[in-house]
Structure 1
């Protein structure tokens, strides 16, 4: 029996767990599917990760509100180090899938439902996810821990300060804050969002910018996404603020990977992920400056 199977079997919610199988794709957790009592579930095994602002009590609170709003699978059980969700028999999206106009429209509508419908269903304390605070904290962590990316931090933090000023005042909503394509699950009739580790109050612009940047949307598709979300074509001031947050979403993903390079024990090429995201950030920043 593998360590994963042992940990899953040890959870207190089962009657007779069978068919335990690893679920690939996560880069901060171990995940598995399991059958119990004729139903299939997803198990996420993971501790708090303070350097990334991941606190499991917050993830569970947000996931429960998202399930109540019908945008995420139900939370079946939670105990220290583990959360059990209903299994959704669907496929995780890819960047290419989100380039399909109908799929992108579904994803945009789902993000709008998160911002509109999850927020009033939250109970108890919930974290705030302000990307510029996150990046400042990452920079301090990287300096304190001798990251090889230290020489780049002064430039990145100077750019972050300019972007934060450009974003301007915001109206906070509950955000998912990690809209990688694989966190959208399509089951043929509906679309769901999973992985609420970074859920918290934020500007809606961050989710929109994250969706566009993580999916590598071309400009015309990005315009359609914004128009669908807003219900009208965005004006120039909105585009300026949105563009700054889009850049910030890429900077955060870059610095997340820089931190993970020196902290994560998972088998993943974080150095390559850092390099790829840094290149995307620099390209987006240059395009935003050209538009400003």
Structure 2
């Protein structure tokens, strides 16, 4: 099988070009396809990806695409587990969000977009996603025996020891990985990528993930929740605050797991809470090129910065 075999017959031609652009965590391959004068994105599932999970995720991706929340699906080759979608030129949601002239409009649109995700129907057989259980699995499994600074352990153990506050909101279909790299802004609409981990979950978790990765202060979080609900909040609910701590701890632990997979040696003993960069400082170093995601050191310091953030929340 060639990659071109995953395309519909009318897009296979001598002039078609296929360029690898990314590799997913599950081993999936992501490619840019130029065919018939148009750009597309092709994603082929990795061998380790469970077939039933892939089909469930595809069903949710179809729901999202039909609702205008994900790029349009052009072609599916179920035998090869390949999905071809339209290419959307990204005009940077973060630039839209950071511009003082458009910040509030961007924040409002983000909250309303998450609300639309959560309004999607829950498919039969959809997995229930419990980030707290995943954190325990990562911590006690993937990170067992890995040398880590004391504050990293404190951050995770605090979240796992804490009794989650009661929720008055029903579980619903959530994305479960709403970090900014999964947002595409075409100049008018926010579209969401990578629905592989979508499932039934606490509605506050998606919002909490956004707030952590985008470093929103409490006032901004209140306005995001108000846009999401369509009515004003006067304070942050305890359940939401817990989900922020949980989201930062889980994301940080997973980054440390990636660092370990990349053969990082672990803590040297010099890493303390004070010497570890904050999440904002990590982003600055990343933009300056002194730290890079996709390297062992980059994942290590990203993970520690997120765990430091969890302790601060």
For Structure 1 versus Structure 2, the TM-score category normalised by the shorter chain is 0.7 to 0.9
Matches within 5 A, 1:1-292: 7-11=2-6, 13-15=8-10, 16=12, 18-23=16-21, 29-47=28-46, 55-75=53-73, 76-79=75-78, 80=80, 82-94=82-94, 97-99=96-98, 100-116=103-119, 118=120, 120=121, 122-143=122-143, 146-149=145-148, 155-166=154-165, 168=167, 170-234=169-233, 236=235, 239-263=237-261, 268-287=294-313
Give the Cα separation in 1 of the matches to 2:168 and 2:161: 14
- Residue deviations 1:17-65 (CA, integer Å, cap 9, x gap): 51323335966643221133444321123426679xx942332122111
Give the Cα separation in 1 of the matches to 2:48 and 2:105: 36
- Residue deviations 1:170-194 (CA, integer Å, cap 9, x gap): 5111111111112111112322111
Can you give the 5+ residue segments of structure 1 that lack an aligned partner in the other structure? Answer: 1-5, 288-292
Residues 153 and 279 of structure 1, relative CA distance in 2, 3 Å threshold: closer
Contact 1:183 1:195 in 2 (8 A): yes
Residues 9 and 264 of structure 1, relative CA distance in 2, 3 Å threshold: farther
> Larger Cα Rg: Structure 1 or Structure 2?
2
For these two proteins, the number of residue pairs brought into alignment is 273
- Residue deviations 1:183-233 (CA, integer Å, cap 9, x gap): 111112322111112111111100111111111123332221111112233
Residues 206 and 163 of structure 1, relative CA distance in 2, 3 Å threshold: farther
Please report the RMSD computed on the Cα atoms of aligned residues, expressed in angstroms: 3.2
Give the Cα separation in 2 of the matches to 1:154 and 1:280: 12
Task: Compare the two structures and name the one with the higher helix fraction.
Answer: 1
Give the Cα separation in 1 of the matches to 2:207 and 2:312: 19
Please report how far the alpha carbon of residue 12 of structure 1 lies from its aligned counterpart in structure 2 after TM superposition: 5.1
Residues 284 and 138 of structure 1, relative CA distance in 2, 3 Å threshold: closer
Residues 219 and 241 of structure 1, relative CA distance in 2, 3 Å threshold: same
For normalisation by structure 2, the TM-score amounts to 0.74
Give the Cα separation in 1 of the matches to 2:152 and 2:312: 18
Residues 77 and 38 of structure 1, relative CA distance in 2, 3 Å threshold: farther
